[in-house]
Structure 1
C-alpha cells in the first residue's frame, strides 16, 4: 500500500502490528483455498495479507473509503465498502453457495452490535474468529455463577460453541488501545435449540436488568404480566441460571402464546 494511513478514531481503528500475534491468529483460523472467507475491517492488512497467502481469495468489509480503495487494487480481494451492520451475511453465503468463515479485528466501539448482527446469520456461518476487548470475550464465554455471566453470555452460548484462544496486550497495536484484547473462536451449534430469538432476548434482558435482586422482583413480574404458568425457580439471581434453563423457559412461553 502507498502512503501511510492515519488511524481514524471515529472508526475505532487500532491496527495489529505484532508479527507473533498475527501468526498465532492465522494458525488458529487455518484458512484454506476454496473457503468463503470474509474479513471485517481489514485495515492495513495485518491479517488479510497472511490469510490471502494461504487461501488465494477473500472478501473484505471496509467502511473507510480510503482503505477500501486501496484493497480494490489487490488481486484476489473482493471489497464490500459498507458499514458491517448493514451487510447481508446470509445473502453473501448464498452467493458463495457455502457457509462463511468470518474473521476480523472488530471495532471495539460497536463490537456488541456486530456480534448480534452476525447472530442473526449464524445458520449461514461455519465459524468466526474475531478479536475484541478482553472484557467482552470474558463476558461471552462466562459460566453461570461468574460475575461476567450475563445477557451476552446467554444469547451467544445459545447459538455458538465459544472458545477464548489468545489474550493480547495493547502493545500489539498501533495506536495502542487502552484495553487488553482477546481472540475468540465461535462455531455455530448444529442443530441449535429452536427458540424465538426476540423473545429470548427480551426475557434475558429483563432477567439481568437488576443483577443483585432475586428473579422474582424482575423476571417474576414480567412473567406475571404474561400470565405465564411455566415452572421456573425465581428464588435465585439471573447469574445463577444456566443457558439451557433460559431456553426452556423461552420455549414454554412460545408454546403458551401460540396455544401449542
Structure 2
C-alpha cells in the first residue's frame, strides 16, 4: 500500500466500478495515447490499460512510482516521474493524446490552465475534481459558479458533467464530494482571436465580477470607446464565451 500524502492532495480512489466508468468515458476519437495524472496505486490505470489506447502515467510521488513499477508490468517505459505542471507536453507526447485522472485537489485548476495551452494536442479530457471545481468548469453564464475557467475551457471544448462521487469511495475520504467531467474538443476549436489577450480580459473581468466590464477592464488600459455601451454595462458572469471572443476581436481591430 502507498501512504496518502496530504501535501500532495492525495485521496486514492478505491472503488473499481467508479474507476471503470471514468475510463469508459473516454471516446478514443482523434488520439491513440492517454496520459494519466497522479495514478497513485493504479485503480484507474488498470481500467485505462483495458482500453485500446497506449497509456502513459505521470506521478510526482516516488512511493507511488515504485508501487506502479512493481505491480504494472504493462507500464514499463511508460511511467514519467515528476510534476505534470513542469512538463513540456509537446516534447513529451509529440502527438494527440487524452488526459485522464483523479486529479489532486490542490492543483486541479492549474492542470486545466496547462491543458488549455495545448488544445492542438489534447482532443479530450476525462477527470475527477472536487465537485465545486467540476461545477465551475462546466458552468454556464448567469451561474454563481461561472468563472474564468468556465469561459476559457468553453472556447476550445464542449464540457459535460458526468457523475458525482461520494467521499467514502476514497482512501482517505475527503471532506467534500467529487465530480467527474468530460471535455471534448470542438470541431471549430481555433478561434480567430489572440488567446493571451482573451485570457487577460476574462481574468480582469472575473477578478472584479461585481463591477461592470467598463470598470473591471480599466486596469488593462484598452481602447473601449468602440465597444457597445450595453456590452460594457454587463458584468462578467452575463457574457457567453462567444461574447468574450467577440469583445477581444473588437479590441484588436
Q: Which runs of 4+ in 1 moved over 4 A?
A: none
Distance 1:164 1:111 in 2: 16
5+ residue gaps, structure 1, are 256-260
- For the Cα contact (< 8 Å) 1:207–1:215, is it kept in 2? yes
Q: Corresponding residue for 2:175? A: 178
Q: 1:236 to 1:40 in 2, by over 3 A?
A: same
Are 1:216 and 2:214 matched, yes or no? yes
2:22 pairs, out of 11, 25, 28, with 25
Distance 1:91 1:191 in 2: 25
- For the Cα contact (< 8 Å) 1:15–1:173, is it kept in 2? yes
Are 1:132 and 2:129 matched, yes or no? yes
Q: Corresponding residue for 1:258? A: none
In the TM superposition, residue 252 of structure 1 has moved relative to its aligned partner by 2.1
Structure 1 vs Structure 2 CA RMSD: 1.9
Are 1:143 and 2:140 matched, yes or no? yes
Are 1:92 and 2:88 matched, yes or no? no
Distance 1:190 1:57 in 2: 24
Give the TM-score of the pair, scaled to structure 2. Answer: 0.90
Greater CA deviation, 187-196 or 140-149? 187-196
Q: 1:218 to 1:56 in 2, by over 3 A?
A: closer
Question: What per-residue deviation string (whole Å, max 9, x for no partner) do you get for residues 218-253 of structure 1?
Answer: 12x246x22343324111211111110101111222
5+ residue gaps, structure 2, are none
- For the Cα contact (< 8 Å) 1:57–1:76, is it kept in 2? no
Distance 1:231 1:181 in 2: 40
In the TM superposition, residue 31 of structure 1 has moved relative to its aligned partner by 5.9
User: Matches of residues 63-142 of structure 1 in structure 2 within 5 Å?
Assistant: 63-73=60-70, 74-77=72-75, 78-94=78-94, 98-142=95-139
Q: Corresponding residue for 1:191? A: 188
Are 1:152 and 2:149 matched, yes or no? yes
Are 1:52 and 2:57 matched, yes or no? no
